[in-house]
Amino acid sequence: MQSSAFEKAGDSIKNRVGLDHITFEVLRNLFEYTCDRMTAVLQRASFSPILSDMVDFSNAIYDPEMRLLSQAANVPVHLAAMKFSAHAVRDEFGIENMQDGDIYVVNDPYRGGTHINDISWIKPVFYKGTQLLGFAVSRGHWMDFGGGAPGGQAWGTHIAEEGLRLPPIKAFEHNEVKPEILKILLANTRTPHFIQGDLQAHVGCLKAAEEEMQSAAERYGLETVKAAMAELIAYTERIVRKRIESIPDGVYTGEDYADTDGQTDEPVKVNVTLTVKGSDITVDLTGSAPQCLGAINSPKANTHSAVFYSLQFFLEPSAPQNEGMFNPISVVLPDDCWLNPKWPAPTIGCTVLAAPKVASAVWQAIANALPDRAVGSACGDCNWFVCGVRDPAGKTDVFSDLPAGGWGGTPFNDGMNVTMDPLGNCMNMEAETAELMFPVAYEAFDIRQDSAGDGHHRGGFGSHLKIRFLCEGAMSVETARTREGTPGVNGGQRSVPQRLWHLSADGTQKIVGGLTEDGRWLNPLLRGHKLSYGDTFWFETTGGGGWGNP
């Protein structure tokens, strides 16, 4: 059952915009279904396992003013960032110059993107060929898009090391891809066998959205559909503002840090000052660390997304996901900050490392405002590795996975075990898929006992992931929480740190990232770590922080 705020938000809808409740609800659900259909098409049609199995993509539709109208339950860290990408296309080409059959592409971290592997496709949707109805947007993480290391995990000091950077480009006209664009895309990847199929999957899901939106306009009329779009956004904003009003006015602070930027051994701080005043929230990140030399910098779009999705957990998760969520929330980003970097700062770790640190700091601030609703931080990092592999026959490929950890304890129960970080509604690679497609064997994927933070309600447990290589490999890893574990709240304790191991085929083993047995800390942001035939890579993930005094 929806909350009372949700039930009452549309009470006077007929008086405001002339829509009856039934038509509004039908169209609201149709907009959500449109995004769900996009997701089904993309997941079923894509070639690369990072899309088809790990579900690292998001789909959304926008109104004619390019305001977010609805988004599927995909990857939260894409939530606001997709809007920035769509606006970059708008600013480059102008809505008035867009035609039926156009599709645009962009991945530039400094033009609305996040990291280079996240490719956004934007299609204007027209009714009867000339009347703009809205936009369909599909963003997916492509397994490899060039750069100095497989998957873009070069851990360098310049954005050019991470792959092909695309400013807003018109890639399709009259629903046909421009041949020169396709040639450029396929020439700049280690996995062309995936990329061409993934591109067609994105196009298919955009066309599915176009069909649903045009069908709605045909059935209910263009003006009725537009009125429902505007009312839906206002509807969500009213719900969110009402929820914010239930938070005591005040100034609340939180902080967290990344272990390293990959270039130095210094921690990288996130500082959050969260101000609640009436129905508005301001999140000020002043006091956070300067722009990093290494590749964990978070572009503006990514930082906004981290703020929005972290607050969404505490506002009204059941409300329709649209622009109305953003309007009551302001984000202040200082210049010369790793959360608002300038070219040519590298950004490959922004979604999986920087965003969780922003979210954790916001959650720490919220814990001060709403201690009875606070939760311990999740594992605080979307652990991600990419490995270039070469089998005994000489065939090369790119293999990736997302080893999950635990979520934080809550006021009501222990945290969830082995669950993807809140930034992404992704999944780990299925062992059967990995072993079918790549020369590897999954030796173990099980609960890491006693890895959670203690508390009145403990955090969820992390995991052990062991992968044996039946080939030569060059492993790059993104992770954090290797100096100390995930923080708890309200007296809850930290979890245990994460660690990376290399188990050699001859039986020797050594820690290659995190705290060693003698207390030394080794930088866990591995680049091109060599694995030989028969070697095993072992990832020990952390649990969530505890809630309440044990």
Residue pLDDT tens, the chain, 550 long: 344 444 444 455 665 667 889 999 999 999 999 999 999 999 999 999 999 999 999 999 999 999 999 998 888 888 789 999 999 999 999 999 999 999 999 999 999 999 999 999 999 999 999 999 999 999 999 999 999 999 888 899 999 999 999 999 999 999 999 999 999 999 999 999 999 999 999 999 999 999 999 999 999 999 999 999 999 999 999 999 999 999 999 999 999 999 999 999 999 999 999 999 999 999 999 999 999 999 999 999 999 999 999 998 888 888 999 999 999 999 999 998 999 999 999 999 999 999 999 999 999 999 999 998 888 888 867 889 999 998 888 888 999 999 999 999 999 999 999 988 777 778 888 999 999 999 999 999 999 999 999 999 999 999 999 999 999 999 999 999 999 999 999 999 999 999 999 999 999 999 999 999 999 999 999 999 999 999 999 999 999 999 999 9
> In 323-358, which positions are buried (b, 16+ CB within 10 angstroms) versus exposed (e)?
bbbbbbbebebeeebbbbbeeebbbbbbbbbbbbbb
Tokens (6 digits) for 199? 């591109």
Place of tokens 């339950």: 73
Mind giving me the DSSP string for 523-534? ----SSEEE-TT
The one-letter amino acid code at 349 reads G
Place of tokens 């030989």: 532
Q: Which residues pair with 465 in a beta bridge?
A: 445, 539
Q: Is 234 helix (H, G, I), strand (E, B) or coil?
A: helix
Gyration radius from the chain CA atoms = 23
The one-letter amino acid code at 485 reads G
Q: What is the pLDDT of residue 395?
A: 86
CA-to-CA distance for 135 and 548, rounded, in angstroms? Answer: 46
Q: What is the pLDDT of residue 1?
A: 37
Label the pairing between strands 280-284 and 329-332.
parallel
CA-to-CA distance for 36 and 525, rounded, in angstroms? Answer: 35
Beta strands in 259-383, from DSSP E residues, in sequence order: 268-277, 280-284, 329-332
Q: What is the pLDDT of residue 13?
A: 61
C-alpha of 353 from chain center = 10
Q: What is the pLDDT of residue 17?
A: 60
Structure-derived torsion over alpha carbons of residues 363, 367, 371, 376, reported in degrees to the nearest 10: 50
pTM (two decimals): 0.93
Half-sphere exposure of 288 (CA within 13 A, CB side): 34
Q: What is the pLDDT of residue 6?
A: 44
Helices (H), 313-437: 355-369, 431-437
Cβ atoms of 187 and 13 within 8 Å: the answer is no
Listed residue (113, 65, 79) closest to 343, CA to CA: 113
Cβ atoms of 231 and 24 within 8 Å: the answer is yes
Q: What is the pLDDT of residue 15?
A: 55
Listed residue (529, 545, 393, 376) closest to 467, CA to CA: 529
CA-to-CA distance for 139 and 137, rounded, in angstroms? Answer: 7
Tokens (6 digits) for 355? 């965003």
> Could you check whether the bond before residue 344 is cis, i.e. omega within 30 degrees of 0?
yes
Burial category of 12 from C-beta neighbours within 10 Å (exposed 0-12, middle 13-18, buried 19 and up): exposed
CA-to-CA distance for 236 and 318, rounded, in angstroms? Answer: 10
SS3 content of the chain, % helix, strand, coil (to 5): 30, 25, 45
Cβ atoms of 450 and 495 within 8 Å: the answer is no
Listed residue (303, 265, 266) closest to 84, CA to CA: 303
Residue 493 makes CB contacts below 8 A (sequence gap 6+) with: 453, 454, 455, 545, 546, 550
Cβ atoms of 153 and 348 within 8 Å: the answer is yes
Listed residue (128, 321, 98) closest to 215, CA to CA: 128
